[in-house]
Amino acid sequence: MDAISDIMAVVYDVAGIKLGDNKRSMVEARLGKRLRQLGCDLKAYAARLHRDDDEIIRCLDLMTTNHTAWKREPVHFDDLARRVLPEIQSRRLRIWCAAAATGEEPWTIALTVHQAIPDLAQWDAAILATDISTRALDVARNGRYSEERIVSLNAIERSVAVEKADDGERTWVVKPELRRLLTFARLNLMNDWPMRGPFDVIFCRNVMIYFDQPTQERLVNRLARLLAPGGTLYVGHSESLSAITHPLRSAGAATYVR
Ligand SMILES: C[S@@+](CC[C@H](N)C(=O)[O-])C[C@H]1O[C@@H](n2cnc3c(N)ncnc32)[C@H](O)[C@@H]1O
């Protein structure tokens, strides 16, 4: 096996991310800077991945695509506000955002919850945001975004979600009211999960596209088991579950209910 195939195999084994042959040049380009830092070639790097777990974490940081945005695929936030949240009588809310990337998605969930529940202070509400990428999670936890990153927020949403950073830059930081709702943690969806659930809602959007079908099927069934009865799973709009076996029923665009 050549070095790039070896590296791609490690990424698949550890993270489930299927990098096809058409991604070889992408893999090489994304590793370029790291190879220069280490002063090694691809072959030595591949060998290092087999004995250095910390390097695997760095490698996954480079191999993952963290593209995301505030209010991405917005029908899910509308559905959360209009269908899901009004049904919850217990005032206990648990949401898991399973591929949080740089945070725009879980912060949008927090914004939606904050806007949809007027007596939120009386609720026991918690949102867990996880991702495999430590680099992306650092950005997410910081909750600091440039003007360009928050263009999709209207004036009211901005006033609820963010405030100007005092760094003299055109930078915005997430407000404490939203921060109180969120906990961040690194979690590889391929490994054991410490959470027992049940969750009222799980967002697992735009990550299954990187997995092959058996991996998707295993993942969706594991997610379904962590949902409360009547709980909702949102997947990405391009991630149809029609080809896999699972116990959920479709309830709208890329929306599934247990
Ligand atoms: C394209 S982003 C999607 C972000 C967000 N969910 C959205 O829809 O905007 C995919 C995210 O999945 C994460 N990811 C990839 N493989 C993963 C795995 N095995 N476990 C957890 N997260 C993973 C990546 O680090 C990346 O941040």
Question: Measured over all CA atoms, what is the biggest interatomic distance in the chain, rounded to whole angstroms?
Answer: 59
Does residue 167 carry a pLDDT above 90? no
Secondary-structure breakdown of the chain: helix, strand, coil percentages, each rounded to the nearest 5: 45, 20, 35
CA separation for the pair 5, 23 (Å, rounded): 10
106 lines ligand 1 (CB under 6 A): no
User: Per-residue confidence at 171, pLDDT binned at 50, 70, 90?
Assistant: very high
Task: Report the pLDDT averaged over residues 201-210.
Answer: 97
Catalytic choice (61, 72, 94, 131): 131
Neighbours of 249 (CB within 10 A): 9
> Could you read off the pLDDT of 212-247 as tens digits, one per residue?
999 999 999 999 999 999 999 999 999 989 999 999
CA separation for the pair 90, 127 (Å, rounded): 16
User: Per-residue confidence at 168, pLDDT binned at 50, 70, 90?
Assistant: confident
Structure tokens at 1: 């096996």
- Centre of ligand 1 to C-alpha 47, Å, is 26
Domains of the chain (ranges, CATH numbers) = 3-63 (1.10.155.10), 75-257 (3.40.50.150)
Percent of the chain with pLDDT over 70: 100
15 lines ligand 1 (CB under 6 A): yes
Global model pTM greater than 0.85:
yes
CA separation for the pair 126, 151 (Å, rounded): 26
- Centre of ligand 1 to C-alpha 128, Å, is 14
205 lines ligand 1 (CB under 6 A): yes
